[in-house]
């Protein structure tokens, strides 16, 4: 398959244009059997996907533990994989950034993390931005992490965070971005383009919603992390299905799958965008990898864009 690669921000870290999201290895998404997770990881690496995005909070360490064990058992050389993880807001005091990183290194069975991200800004623990940014820069200088990313940080905070760093810079912004949730195009993507950063696009398939594989009734009954998710409420999901229908139509015309069209739409949006779809099976990985190595015809890309821009998601669901 035509796997494409790009560099993470201004770093020397080369990653596949589409990564693997590893939140799925948690109770939230249901892949809690190690062997099932190992098969997903193995298939991704076999096909040339080298970027794995995890986080400390995914299964409270379970996702990181599965990844570390799988990489060891599969005999993956350390430089064949790019591990991205994240520290949650409650662990951002200077000392906790060190402690959390040490624990992640143990779970991941490695001596460095390629991309350490702040999962979301401290909103309940009153930790000054420069406190955690300086801790991250120290970890970078020590070689315990190779690059810094900020997830779900508004641009004003990204600017503040960058001003705390003495010599390093932020290479990655991680944000929600998919064909029906386009908010990142207002500020994040232009900012990343201007500043040579990469954008790791989370929920690139809108948690599966843009694939239109669930009926309105089924979507309402999803029991995993999607229970209560606004995207799957009828008033939103009905609109999303209109985009999904176009994605399906384009897919069948081009001999691709809906996931391939949706992910290709994202990598075609900007060369800074790196989707990190979560996969629960090796088949989903294979499908998603097939989104690389070709480009949507412009008229199809625009058709999806026009439909996507008509979608007005509301999160006022009760």
What residues line the site for ligand NAP (CB under 6 A)? 21-24, 29, 53, 151-152, 174, 202-208, 211, 259, 276-280, 284, 287-288
CB of 141: closest distance to ligand NAP in angstroms?
25
Strand 170-176 relative to strand 14-16, pairing: unpaired
In angstroms, the CA 171 to CA 82 distance is 14
Paired tokens of 171: 């290479």
Region for residue 208 given its phi and psi (left: phi exceeds 0; alpha: psi -120 to 50; beta: otherwise) = left
Rank residues 56 and 168 by Cβ distance to ligand NAP and give the closer one: 56
Q: Which residue is nearest to ligand NAP (CB)?
A: 21
Distance of CA 220 to the CA centre of its chain: 24
Rank residues 53 and 300 by Cβ distance to ligand NAP and give the closer one: 53
In angstroms, the CA 146 to CA 61 distance is 21
Q: How many other CB atoms sit within 10 Å of the CB of residue 263?
A: 28
What's the chain's length in residues? 318
Rank residues 118 and 133 by Cβ distance to ligand NAP and give the closer one: 118
Sheet of 115-118, strands arranged across: 20-21, 51-53, 82-87, 115-118, 148-151, 170-176, 198-202, 273-275
In angstroms, the CA 212 to CA 232 distance is 10
CB of 201: closest distance to ligand NAP in angstroms?
8
Q: Is 112 a catalytic residue?
A: no
Rank residues 48 and 138 by Cβ distance to ligand NAP and give the closer one: 48
- Active-site hit among 5, 34, 58, 112: 58
The CA dihedral of 196, 147, 149, 308, to the nearest 10 degrees, is 50
CB of 260: closest distance to ligand NAP in angstroms?
8
CB of 224: closest distance to ligand NAP in angstroms?
7
In angstroms, the CA 52 to CA 299 distance is 32
Rank residues 129 and 203 by Cβ distance to ligand NAP and give the closer one: 203
CB of 211: closest distance to ligand NAP in angstroms?
5
Active site members: 58
């Amino acid at each position: 398959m035509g796997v494409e690669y790009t560099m993470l921000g201004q770093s020397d870290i080369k990653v596949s244009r589409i990564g693997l999201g590893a939140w799925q290895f948690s109770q939230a998404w249901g892949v809690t059997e190690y062997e099932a997770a190992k098969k997903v990881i193995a298939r991704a690496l076999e096909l040339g996907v080298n970027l794995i995005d995890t986080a400390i909070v995914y299964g409270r360490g379970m996702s990181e533990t599965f990844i570390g064990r799988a990489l060891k058992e599969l005999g993956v050389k350390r430089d064949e994989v790019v591990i991205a993880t994240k520290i949650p807001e409650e662990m951002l005091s200077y000392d906790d950034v060190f402690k959390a990183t040490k624990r992640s290194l143990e779970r991941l069975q490695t001596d460095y993390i390629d991309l350490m991200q702040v999962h979301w800004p401290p909103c309940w623990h009153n930790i000054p931005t420069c406190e955690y940014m300086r801790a991250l820069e120290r970890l970078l200088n020590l070689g315990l992490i190779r690059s810094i990313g900020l997830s779900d940080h508004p641009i004003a905070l990204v600017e503040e965070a960058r001003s705390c760093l003495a010599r390093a810079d932020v290479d990655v912004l991680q944000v929600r971005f998919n064909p029906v949730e386009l908010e990142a195009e207002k500020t994040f993507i232009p900012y990343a383009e201007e500043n040579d950063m990469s954008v790791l696009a989370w929920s690139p398939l809108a948690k599966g919603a843009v694939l239109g594989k669930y009926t309105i009734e089924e979507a309402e009954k999803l029991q995993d992390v999607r229970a209560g998710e606004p995207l799957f409420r009828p008033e939103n999901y009905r609109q999303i299905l209109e985009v999904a229908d176009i994605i399906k139509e384009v897919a069948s015309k081009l001999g691709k799958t809906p996931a391939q069209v949706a992910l290709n739409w994202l990598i075609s949006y900007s060369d800074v965008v790196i989707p990190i779809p979560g996969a629960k099976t090796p088949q989903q990985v294979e499908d998603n990898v097939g989104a690389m190595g070709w480009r949507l015809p412009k008229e199809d890309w625009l058709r999806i864009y026009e439909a996507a821009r008509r979608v007005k998601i509301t999160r006022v669901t009760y």
